Amino acid sequence: MGLFGHKPKPSPPPVVAPDSRSAPMAQPTTEPAFERPEPKGKNNYLVVVFDSCRYDTFMEAAPKFTQYLGEVERRWSYASWTAPSHYNLLTGLLPHHSPSHVYASEYYKRDFLHYNDRLGADGIEFKNMVPEMYLPTFLRRKMGFSTHAMVSLPVLNPKTCINRDFDSFELMKRHNDMRAMLPKLHFSTDRPSFHLLNVGETHYPYALPDEDPKMWPQISGVHGVFKHLDDFVVGGKLVEEAEEKFFDQEKLDRLRGRQLDAVRYLDGVMQELFDLVPKNTYVTVIADHGELFGEEGYFGHGPINHDKVYEVPFVEGKVR
């Protein structure tokens, strides 16, 4: 039996090329035609991800316009770095409450019921996601939404598996310019839209769009990985400098201050976003994971098991 008790269908035999009994014929890569159903929801839905933003940083920054959506919750990411956490949220599971005495399957069922409010729909349950288990597929093929994504981090580029069942998917030219996304947001008059916005200002090096890259902070051992953030593929090597210790707490404190400044800046961009979106738009603002600024000898995120790398802000609500 397969997942959810369904017996998986046997795989079809490979198509054999006419002149060979061993080489399978290449399969078509074009998307199968489908008829998008009439829309079953009333709300446009936006998920805005402040990449790497810690919960306590977000709260200290006190973003007043973003908090217009509702009360900010302390939640927990399912993963400690960008790619897997975005894949998980695109299964429909946003950062969780870490509840005790609850089976995971029951939590998923309850959590997914919130999509009725988010989408302005009725009768949505976790089982509606089966078998694809992918939110863009569900929205596009079952709910009649148009689906769009704009991402800032190259690990989410359009060539990755994240880009599935999106009508449009764009890697932004710069990793730290949410404001450049706003003119690209389009909302149909005949069906609701879903937009995923991955925002990079809160990601290392916590730089605002008008800052000269020459002024970005240099951290030994990690900066090389990110020096090509604006390229299509992340390049560079880890370079350890023996004369400089990796963890300089004064420098790491300044980096956390830069993330604070980034949240405050993005709050102004969020105000512009709220003014832009049409009536009946629901917005969820989260982080995909947190960040370490020297706590217990850690910096950054990824191969780190620490509360602060999973602790994220969560706030959502209907704009109007």
| In-domain check, residue 235 | yes
| In-domain check, residue 103 | yes
| Cis before 24 (ω within 30) | no
Q: Cα(116)–Cα(73) distance, rounded to whole angstroms? A: 20
| In-domain check, residue 198 | yes
Whether 102 has a pLDDT exceeding 60, the answer reads yes
| In-domain check, residue 13 | no
pLDDT of residue 297: 86
Looking up residue 258, the CATH number of its domain turns out to be: 3.40.720
SS3 86: helix
| In-domain check, residue 144 | yes
41 to each of 138, 140, 154, 316, how far by Cα in Å? 12, 11, 32, 17
Do 173 and 180 meet the contact criterion of CB atoms below 8 Å apart? yes
Chain mean pLDDT for the chain: 85
| In-domain check, residue 12 | no
pLDDT of residue 47: 98
Percent of the chain residues topping a pLDDT of 90: 72
- Residue from 222, 169, 179 nearest 199 by CA: 179
Structure tokens at 179: 């404001």
Domain residue limits at 287 = 34-318
Split into its structural domains, the chain has a count of 1
- Residue from 205, 295, 209 nearest 257 by CA: 205
Sign, CA torsion 112/118/121/122 = positive
Task: Give the DSSP letter of residue 28.
Answer: P
Do 217 and 203 meet the contact criterion of CB atoms below 8 Å apart? no
| In-domain check, residue 123 | yes
What confidence tens digit (pLDDT) does each residue in 164-206 have?
Answer: 999 999 999 999 999 999 999 999 999 999 999 999 999 999 9
pLDDT of residue 32: 63
| In-domain check, residue 6 | no
